[in-house]
């Protein structure tokens, strides 16, 4: 959680300075502050059922779905699939057949490349 706060601080500084958050990211400036993923946790108690809904921002998530990664980076889903298809891709975690993106490693990768 402390790392997410530090990353938010870095993103806010870059945004205030008018710098791109991620090279080539058209919507990245809006992604951290405005895009929120709604998660629902269902918990069954003894004799009663209740649910808790928690709002989680992309900056707090460790893993992103393909759709969330596309929103965060501004890169299309097809291009993200293409660059993450390799077995040795450092920023992808496969959950069965579901592709999950390691947010920090994906951002680091995008900051280190010239073109994709």
Q: What is the pLDDT of residue 1?
A: 45
Q: Which residue has the tokens 């097809």?
A: 78
Q: What is the pLDDT of residue 58?
A: 79
Q: What is the pLDDT of residue 7?
A: 57
d(CA 71, CA 111): 16
Of 76, 66, 82, 88, nearest in space to 27 by CA:
76
Q: Which stretches does DSSP call E strand in 9-90? A: 36-44, 49-57, 63-64
Print pLDDT tens along the chain (116 aa).
444 445 556 566 666 665 555 544 444 444 444 444 444 444 445 555 556 667 788 788 999 999 999 999 999 999 999 999 988 899 999 999 999 999 999 999 999 999 98
Q: What is the pLDDT of residue 52?
A: 63
Domain boundaries, the chain: 2-33+61-112
Q: What is the pLDDT of residue 60?
A: 87
pTM higher than the cut 0.85: no
Q: Which stretches does DSSP call E strand in the chain? A: 36-44, 49-57, 63-64, 92-95, 98-102
Q: What is the pLDDT of residue 100?
A: 96
Spatial neighbors of 12 by CB under 8 A, at least 6 apart, are none
């Amino acid at each position: 959680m402390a790392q997410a706060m530090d990353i938010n601080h870095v993103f806010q500084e870059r945004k205030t300075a008018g710098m791109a958050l991620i090279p080539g990211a058209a919507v990245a400036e809006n992604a951290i502050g405005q895009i929120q993923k709604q998660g629902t946790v269902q918990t069954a108690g003894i004799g009663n059922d209740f649910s808790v809904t928690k709002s989680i921002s992309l900056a707090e998530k460790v893993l992103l779905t393909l759709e969330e990664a596309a929103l965060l980076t501004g890169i299309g889903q097809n291009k993200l699939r293409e660059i993450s298809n390799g077995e040795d891709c450092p920023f992808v975690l496969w959950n069965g057949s579901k592709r999950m993106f390691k947010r920090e490693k994906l951002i680091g990768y995008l900051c280190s490349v010239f073109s994709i």
